[in-house]
Amino acid sequence: MARLRSWVVAAVSVTVMSACVEGGPLRDVPVGHIALAETACAEGPTVEGIDVSHWQGSIDWDRVASAGVEFAFMKATQGTDFLDSELQTNWDGARNAGLVRGAYHFFCPSVDGADQAEHFLETVGSLGEGDLPPVLDVEVFQGAGCSWSGVSCSTIISNIHGWVDRVVSETGRTPIIYTNAGTWDGSVCGSTEFSDVHLWVANWEVSCPGMPRAWSEWAFWQTGDDGSVSGVSGGVDTDLFNGDFAALQALAGSSASGPRCGDSTCADDENCSSCADDCGTCERTCEPLGETGGIVDELSPCWIPFGPPRWDDESPEGYDGHLFWVPPSAGPEPLNGATWNLRLSAAGTYRLEAYTEDYGSRPIESARYQVAHAGSVDPFIVDQSATDGWNLIGEIQFAAGEGQYVSLDDVPAYTEERTIVLFDAVRLTRVDPTEPVEDEVVAPPSGGGCCSASRVSGSLHGLCLAVVTLGFLALRRRRWL
């Protein structure tokens, strides 16, 4: 990736993850020497994230997701016996809120690295799609059984190798090392043996991070230790990923332990709509709706999704037992969206509805539907949490034929704390009367019958006319029954 470079003289200090060390978070423990640090800036897009541990207490992950956070690292283990008390809650909460998640191990330099890796792997278990590679947190901290005092560089490097090699062997994934220029260039003696491992660099309150000399670019950057994020009480570590969301997903989807879109295998939970790369292009035969309307669901050939593979359908809810959802986009531009193409057999006024579910009080309240109809495109704001079932979009005039549609993306109409956007079936129901059958003109007999002038006269002729008239009216009435 292209980088902007500058050389700065910096007083190197140990930047400590505020969430990570037993005994409490530390702040700016000086190493006491001056070093040259090369900085590396991200030229392209970045993605916002956080890292947490039990020091943050209970976290409302739905609110975190609604604040624009797209990924989260959480402490799992330390040494060979410590387990973070909030790991399971945070691990499940981040996934349920739609975040990309990762777990880290706090490194003790004097403890066998392979044993530390075994403790981490047994605690976290197998990693799947949406899980970032394992992280080794390498930073100087004196205490809690993780003393750096008197530990040689060769021992430290050997134990880092033990952890990294064991993780690669067990997971098949290239791990991430969290560190900072002071720790790595000083206590790890600037080792270049891990330059092929992803770097998560810590450097707070700067425009671009100072780099350990072994790396030339970073995958993640811890930008601060006291950020304010909705859903987290008090300060929290803030982070950036060096790339766009699709690149983050690719990094999180590289596990061989589970299927993912783009792995050349059409898995049971993939189809031509959700993953054309693996399952092939759908045979798109979008059938016309009937004269009274019909339903277009999210598995229909008329439904066309777009965006990265963030679609989640791990739910039995929804119309006909299925729906898709994605977390809202963190910015003004959509990441995901879909179009329901409409082919109508008859013009008319239709009630247009979307199928929604309250789904744990998480669907957004300001979904932006766009409806193309009869030569116009109009917006409709719908509260997806308001109705379990058919949720009214509006009564709309449609023309007959193709070129009309309903579309929805993942950008809410206004800022809110809800955390998912639902994509399910839409239904059209004809509400204006169908055209009545034209009346046939029924003329009374002219050449014979009871009213023939040659056969009746006077009052009898008038009575005959009355009978014919009543019969004619009765015939008209029967045509409207």
Statement to judge: residues 287 and 183 lie in one domain: no
Please identify, among 214, 237, 252, the residue that sits at the C-terminal boundary of a domain. 252
Last residue of one domain, picked from the residues 220, 252, 284: 252
Model pLDDT, residue 199: 98
**Which CATH number is 364's domain given?**
2.60.120.260
- What would the mean pLDDT of 1-13 be, rounded to a whole number? 35
Residues 217 and 339 in one domain: no
Output the pLDDT for position 286: 84
For residue 273, what pLDDT is reported? 54
Establish whether 378 is a catalytic residue: no
Statement to judge: residues 367 and 464 lie in one domain: no
Residue 266 has pLDDT above 50, yes or no: yes
* pLDDT for the residue 94: 93
Examine residue 10 and state whether it is found in any structural domain, yes or no: yes
Q: Is residue 403's pLDDT more than 60?
A: yes
Check pLDDT > 50 for residue 3.
no
- The dihedral through the CA atoms of 287, 290, 291, 293 has a sign that is negative
Residue 23, Cβ density class (10 Å: 0-12 exposed, 13-18 middle, ≥19 buried): exposed
Task: Provide the mean pLDDT of the chain.
Answer: 80
Our answer to whether residue 137 is catalytic in this structure is yes
Strand order in the sheet with 426-430: 293-296, 426-430, 348-356, 389-398
SS3 339: strand
pLDDT single digits (tens) 111-144: 999 999 999 999 999 888 889 999 999 998 765 5
Cα separation, 257 vs 128, whole angstroms: 6
* pLDDT computed for residue 141 by the predictor: 72
Indicate whether 323 belongs to any domain: yes
Clarify whether residues 24 and 98 are in a common domain: yes
201 & 341 share domain: no
For residue 18, the model assigns a pLDDT of 42
Please give the pLDDT value at position 37.
65
Residue 14, pLDDT > 60, answer: no
Q: What is the pLDDT of residue 335?
A: 86
Q: What is the pLDDT of residue 442?
A: 41
- Please give the backbone phi and psi of residue 245, each rounded to the nearest 5 degrees, phi first: -65, -35
Catalytic annotation present for 314: no
Top-confidence residue, 321 or 206? 206
Supply the CATH number for residue 40's domain: 3.20.20.80
More confident residue, 471 or 146: 146
pLDDT at position 310, please?
Answer: 65
Say if residue 434's pLDDT is above 80.
no
Question: Among 441, 418, 305, which residue's Cα sits nearest to residue 356?
Answer: 418
List the catalytic residue out of 22, 38, 51, 86: 51
| pLDDT average, residue stretch 175-194 | 95
Residue 82 sits at φ, ψ, to 5 deg, of: -90, 135
- My answer on whether 398 and 455 are in the same domain is no
The answer to whether residue 86 scores a pLDDT higher than 50 is: yes
Q: Is the pLDDT of residue 168 over 70?
A: yes
Question: How large is the average pLDDT for residues 16-37?
Answer: 41
**Domain span at 301:** 276-430
**Do the strands 198-202 and 220-227 form a parallel or antiparallel pair, or are they unpaired?**
parallel
Cβ pair 239, 222 in contact under 8 A: yes
* 373 & 448 share domain: no
**Does 102 share its domain with 246?**
yes
**Residue for token digits 């929804």?**
318
Cβ neighbors of 49 (< 8 A, separation 6 or more) are: 69, 70, 71, 72, 73, 100, 220, 238, 239, 240, 241
Most confident of 98-102, 260-264, 455-459: 98-102
**Of 128-142, 346-360, 431-445, 460-474, which gets the smallest average pLDDT?**
460-474
**8 Å CB contact between 219 and 50:** no
3-state helix, strand and coil shares in percent for the chain, rounded to the nearest 5 = 20, 30, 50
**β partners of residue 8:** 37
Q: Which residue has the higher pLDDT, 121 or 301?
A: 121
- 282 has pLDDT over 70: no
The one catalytic residue in 62, 118, 131, 137 is 137
Same domain, 169 and 195: yes
Give the pair of three-digit tokens for residue 356.
């929604």
Position 32 pLDDT exceeds 80: no
pLDDT top residue among 267 and 259: 267
Q: Residues 440-464: pLDDT tens digits?
A: 444 444 444 444 443 334 444 444 4
228 and 284 belong to one structural domain: no
Catalytic-labelled residue, pool 62, 118, 139, 313 = 139
Q: Give me the pLDDT at residue 274, please.
A: 56
Instruction: Look at residue 314 in the predicted model and tell me its pLDDT.
Output: 55
pLDDT value for 61? 93
For residues 201 and 223, what is the distance between their CA atoms, to the nearest angstrom? 9
Q: Which of 413, 430, 447 is the last residue of a domain?
A: 430
Choice among 296-300, 335-339, 392-396, 463-467 with the minimum mean pLDDT: 463-467
240 occurs within a structural domain:
yes
Q: How confident is the model at residue 321 (pLDDT cuts 50, 70, 90)?
A: confident
Residue 55 lies in a domain: yes
- Structure-block tokens of residue 341: 């193409």
Predicted pLDDT of residue 391: 96
* 151-189: burial string, b at 16+ Cβ within 10 Å, e else: beeeebbebbebbbebbbeebebebbbbbbbbbbbbbbe
Mean pLDDT within 466-474 = 41
For residue 92, being part of any structural domain is answered with yes
Q: What is the reported pLDDT for 84?
A: 93
pLDDT band at 316 (very low <50, low <70, confident <90, very high): low
- Give the residue with greater pLDDT, 357 vs 207: 207
For residues 241 and 107, state if they share a domain. Answer: yes
Residue 269 has what pLDDT?
55
Give domain status of residue 263, yes or no: no
Look at residue 261 in the predicted model and tell me its pLDDT.
55
Q: What is the pLDDT of residues 241-261, one digit of tens each?
A: 999 999 999 999 844 344 455
Strand partners, 369: 380, 408
- Note whether 166 and 240 are same-domain residues: yes
| pLDDT given for residue 421 in this prediction | 92
| 268 is a domain residue | no
The number of domains in the chain is 3
Share of the chain above pLDDT 90, in %: 56
